[in-house]
A and B are shown apart, each in its own frame.
Chain A
Amino acid sequence: MKFTLSWLKDHLETDASLETIIDQLTAIGLEVEGVEDRAAALAPFRIARVLTADQHPNADRLRVLTVDPGDGSKVQVVCGAPNARAGLVGVFAAPGTHVPGTGVDLAVGSIRGVESHGMMLSEREMGLSDEHDGIVDLPQDAPVGTPYVAWADVGDPVVEIGVTPNRADCLGIRGIARDLAAAGLGTLKPLTVADFAVDGSAAPAVTIDAPDLCPAFGLRLIEGVANGASPEWMQRRLRSIGLRPINALVDVTNYLTYDVGRPLHVFDADKVSGDLVVRRGAGEEFEALDGRFYKVTDAMCVIADSNGVESLAGIMGGEASGSSEATTRVLVESALWEPINIARTGRTLGIHSDARHRFERGVDPAFMLPGLDYATAMILSMCGGKAGPVTVAGTVPDAKRTIAFPPAEVMRLSGLEVDEAKQAEVLDRLGFTVDTSASPWAVTTPSWRADVEGKADLVEEIVRIVGIDDVEPTPLVRTDPVAPKVLTTLQQRVATVRRALATQGMTEAVTWSFVSHEDAVAFGGGSQALRLANPIAEALSDMRPSLLAGLVRAVTRNVNRGHPDLALFEVGQVFAGDEPADQTTQAAGVRQGRNTAAGVGRHWDGDETADAFDAKADILAALTAIGGPADRCEITRDAPAYYHPGRSGTLRLGPNVLGHFGELHPAVLAGMDAPERLVAFELTLEKVPEPRRNATKKPNFSASDLMPVRRDFAFLVSEDIDARAITKAARGARKDLVSDVAVFDVYRGTGVPEGQKSVAVEATLQPSGKTLTDDDIEKVSADIIAAVAKATGATLRA
């Protein structure tokens, strides 16, 4: 919302400075977004006369001017404007000045070999309008040498404020003035509408066929108007706030839209045929004033005559019945429209008009008819004519409401002590009617404040006007004597697992929660229920079933940028359905190239490309970090289909699947144009059981005094036997003695038959009662060999 200082002062009697006004606006919730003080920006530019204008010797479109800037000198200026001619009086910018419209600091320059000492300005170059067809062409009697800004009176500062959607009343300058007056910056001037005679003909009849979309509609015919340019002061103000003057009739409607927040529409009465009807659209094509065609559906409200749709209600008038300089009979419309419908229609059709902006936020209903009179008086004074009586259809609703308001509410909600008289005074200045004799007070809202619904709104009004800065910060007192557990177990795990994976040398990424449909399908998702109805891009259409899709895409982008050795992880939400319980938290990682926990890139002492065991190490590190029982987990060979079937595993704890790890399936990777071999893991944090014991109660510590004994065994087994089968059988051979069994070598080649492998394990024997004798050791060794042979068909390697 833009306005100029002089315009504001039409409504506000004040001697406050611009700076004070700006500070106060922001303090009361009308945030100043910009101030354009043109007087300062335009100060250096003076009115000057072009003495001679000759063709530039080296350029067809340029002229070389001699300019008299009024100080007795003659200045040579190269100019490209088509209207540059001898005798023209325009605006001159000397070298060293800053041209606001282009942001250029002028210097003496040479243009195609001819020196230029400044320039003659267009309106756009001065930031006054978009006009750039030529340089400013002033009347011959404009005083050469005088500062242009003083002569043209264009120095009125322009202020732009942000108006929150609840404050429709401040989309009119009068509303802004009222707020400033309430805040003590002056007094609100009465709104005076010049008297006029109502002696003209009546407007056509109006029927409202859609009363839910149009509560009331006022219309007046003014005959015998002489439409033309509006007065210079009005054009200047409109231009100052970025509007283009069109003709007096249109300018009056635009002017009042900003002046009092009352949008109006004018029809050329001679182009309107028969009576008017306010109804829903019927699928017609309609040409609006912006020259574009719109299809009006039955969800939209239109004003129609016997020719068809003449106006898109509350949003934009029609081209066919618009006013022009030839208009002599004009119909002025002032109506009320249902805000939600206006918003929806405007959005559907993509029209952003000043009228829509106000109607969708709600205009002051009580001002519908006064606004029509205000417009009538202005039109009569500018264009003459005879005003007819007002035709009114529907009824203007009473927008006032009375709120029971205990003044103590201000202290309760804001913590600010405001005495009752002050509260009543503020409300009164804002236009509320306060009955302080009632208990609680009865506060009646003004018709322009539909946003004020209850006590809390009144507290806001009082506090913002008195000053939010007066509210003292008040320490919050602790309610819990002992610090509560701040994080849930899951939140704690998320924080910990991130740090654990980073210590594995992985880098955390944050990728989109949505992936392409193809990627969702590839990673086990893609269900209809999780496809967005309105995705912003095809690549961001489905809620992700796994973090891996996003990570693989990120890894691929990095590889394509020439960074092949990567380890990325993410901890975040994945979706199996649209219920809250379907959302779980995964930790997942991807490694590519020479990037393992032991290093990145090539190493002089030998290097390794990340393989499935690096992914397994990562998942176990993550699991262990959050207290998961890694030693009780089983590994099975049934990872999802997006993993390599022979080089992947599933981590299980009893019936629960905790996660997966391994190489990703080559076909999946090929489908994503990803590197050929990526290893990955996924761990579902919710599936990891919460620790059963209280962390402060550990079991008693016990350690044997007896030395453990270690024995090595090399078993020959068939290739399809997993090492885990051997270690499990060996451990089970003598549970009281065998405390650990670990594989230390897997060998294939000379001495091992085809189709078999040699698996060497070290068994740790931990005696508890007495030291083991050689016989004891022989016996348990035989037990181990027998148990492994029975379980796996292994033989001891000779």
Chain B
Amino acid sequence: MNAVISPDNLDEIEAGIEAQINAAGDEAALESVRVATLGKKGSLSEQMKTLGKMSPEERQVMGPALNGLKARVTEQIAARREALKAAALEAQLVAERIDVTLDPRQTGIGRGRIHPISQVWDELSAIFADLGFRIAEGPDIETDDFNFTKLNFPEGHPARDMHDTFFLPEREDGTRRLLRTHTSPVQIRTMLKDKPPIRIIAPGRTYRCDSDQTHTPMFHQVEGLVVDKESHVGHLKWVLTEFCRAFFEVEDASMRFRPSFFPFTEPSYEVDIRCRRSKDGIELGVGDDWLEILGSGMVHPNVLANCGLDPDVYQGFAWGMGIDRIAMLKYGMPDLRDLFEGDSRWLTHYGFAPLDRPSLAGGLSR
């Protein structure tokens, strides 16, 4: 190969190098060709060194010829390298094939579920936070005083009976605690602790000795309380109408207030929402039937007085409803008892996605 290059064999030599470049099957072989020609001791590099010893005439001919040859070889090698790279990548891509129909590892986000009661709890928080309410809570184990007496339940009221209320064993002082039968004791605790104006909702677990198709011994209630110096039945109506419209996500949350009776409110009202009943269930906000959804009223003067508030100065309203019940209504769950069964199939079906956190900004139930 290291034949002396002359203008006569220049083409021949170039053809030989080009053949070697084209014959290189991979980048390593191509590199060998490059080293053999353009490397420090490569054939072309060696020839370039001979230019110095040439006569000016000779150099004038051979100089441009050799430089031209070197440039062309360099270019050819570069081009061949690109081609080889592309071919190698092509081969790699052909080889690297996976079965994309196989299941990936799952993350929890797709599987986890939030219980409908918790979801509704969060919905309630979102709605009432917007209306300027705080969330208050109290203990499940209550005193007779907070659960009944301060709420104006007379002695001998049937709710105070062991048929209706769960009691704990008698204590040393002769009193007995009970499991709260409603969330209303939170009203009492709040009024005793905070000064008006008061605006709270109190969601929580409640208990009654009842177990059948539509009753469970444990259930969930949410209570609302507003106490200040001016709130009246008109405000009560507004709050409940706003709530129903937001919660049930219906345009027409027509409501019917019916005079009723509760020991801790006076006047008292039961509240119905417009509905249509059919074999497919209950549809709210349409039709001309009514469905009772909550009890409400102006806080009874005795209750205010029992909490140290002068009923001639302070006034307000309260309401209470079953969280389980409104959850069942809103999301079409037919049987109350399923809520506490822990059946993973039911929970997966009726539960909510982990990050489906209700907000007024994003729409309560999307």
Contact = CB atoms under 8 A, between A and B. Distances in A.
A619 interface: no
A476 interface: yes
B342 interface: yes
A40 interface: no
Nearest to B122: A495
Given A340-B156, A580-B138, 4 more contacts: A471-B237, A507-B344, A530-B168, A573-B140
Interface stretch (A51-59, A161-169, A203-211, A317-325): A161-169
B2 interface: no
Nearest to A607: B105
CB-CB nearest 9 A-B residue pairs? A554-B342, A29-B259, A505-B108, A502-B112, A415-B234, A340-B156, A460-B267, A502-B354, A474-B234
A199 interface: no
11 contacts: A165-B261, A468-B233, A473-B234, A474-B238, A476-B235, A483-B129, A488-B137, A495-B125, A501-B112, A553-B342, A578-B177
B198 to A, nearest CB: 10
B344 A31 contact: no
A472 B342 contact: no
A528 B176 CA distance: 13
A42 interface: no
A464 B261 contact: no
Contacts of B239: 476
A509 B110 CA distance: 17
* Chain B residues touching A, majority SS: mixed
A533 B176 contact: yes
B339 A510 contact: yes
B362 to A, nearest CB: 14
Contacts of A486: 125, 128-129, 133-135
Interface in B105-152: 105-115, 117-118, 121-122, 125, 128-129, 131-135, 137-141
Interface of A: 26-29, 31, 164-167, 339-340, 343-344, 347, 411-416, 451, 454-457, 459-460, 463-464, 468-469, 471-476, 478-480, 483-488, 491, 495, 498-499, 501-514, 528-537, 540, 543, 550-551, 553-555, 557-558, 561, 563, 566, 568, 571-573, 575, 578-580, 582-583, 597-600, 603-605
B129 to A, nearest CB: 4
A555 to B, nearest CB: 8
B269 interface: yes
A600 to B, nearest CB: 6
Interface stretch (B9-17, B26-34, B48-56, B224-232): B224-232
A508 B113 contact: yes
Interface string B246-273: 0000000000111111000011111000
A347 B163 contact: yes
Interface in B147-175: 154-156, 158, 161-163, 166-171
A510 B111 contact: no
B267 A413 contact: yes
A536 B211 contact: yes
Given A486-B133, A533-B169, A347 B140 contact: no
A510 B348 CA distance: 13
Contacts of B166: 532-536
Contacts of B340: 510-512
Contacts of A506: 108, 112
A479 B211 contact: no
Given A483-B129, A499-B355, A533-B168, A344 B156 contact: yes
B169 A528 contact: yes
B24 interface: no
B168 A532 contact: yes
Contacts of B80: none
B9 to A, nearest CB: 56
A145 to B, nearest CB: 38
Nearest to A496: B357
Nearest to B204: A573
A565 to B, nearest CB: 9
Interface residues of B, number: 96
Contacts of A347: 158, 161, 163
B343 interface: yes
Contact of B354 (A459, A503, A553, A566): A503
A476 B231 contact: yes
A486 B269 CA distance: 27
Nearest to A572: B205
Contacts of A472: 234, 237
A414 B267 CA distance: 8
B345 interface: yes
B118 A460 contact: no
A450 to B, nearest CB: 11
Interface in B49-68: none
Given A28-B259, A476-B131, A499-B355, A487 B125 contact: yes
B166 to A, nearest CB: 5
A475 B169 contact: no
B342 A511 contact: yes
Contacts of B169: 528-529, 531, 533
A479 B199 CA distance: 9
Given A509-B347, A568-B344, A604 B102 contact: yes
A537 B40 CA distance: 96
B319 to A, nearest CB: 13
Contacts of A413: 232-233, 267, 298, 315
A535 B179 CA distance: 11
B267 A415 contact: no
B114 A566 contact: no
A473 B114 contact: no
A598 B235 contact: no
A491 B122 CA distance: 10
B183 to A, nearest CB: 13
A537 B217 CA distance: 10
Contacts of B140: 513, 543, 573, 575, 583
A7 B342 CA distance: 52
Contacts of A533: 162, 166-170, 176
A344 B158 CA distance: 8
B42 interface: no
B342 A551 contact: yes
A534 B351 CA distance: 33
A495 B257 CA distance: 33
Contacts of B163: 347
B261 A167 contact: yes
B234 A502 contact: no
Given A165-B261, A460-B268, A508-B114, A414 B234 contact: yes
Contact of B226 (A165, A476, A536): A476
Contact of B260 (A164, A510, A529): A164
A407 B115 CA distance: 50
A558 B343 contact: yes
B320 interface: no
Given A347-B158, A508-B351, A573-B205, A531 B235 contact: no
B108 A464 contact: no
A306 B113 CA distance: 72
Contact of B209 (A509, A536, A557): A536
Contact of A476 (B106, B118, B154, B238): B238
B344 A499 contact: no
Contacts of A529: 168-169, 171
B301 A455 contact: yes
Contacts of A563: 344-345
Contacts of A495: 118, 121-122, 125, 357
Contacts of A600: 106, 111
Given A463-B233, A509-B342, A504 B112 contact: yes
Contacts of A28: 259
Nearest to B189: A580
A568 B342 contact: yes
Contact of B132 (A343, A480, A504): A480
Contacts of A473: 234-235, 237-238, 241
Contacts of B261: 29, 164-167, 451
Nearest to B137: A491
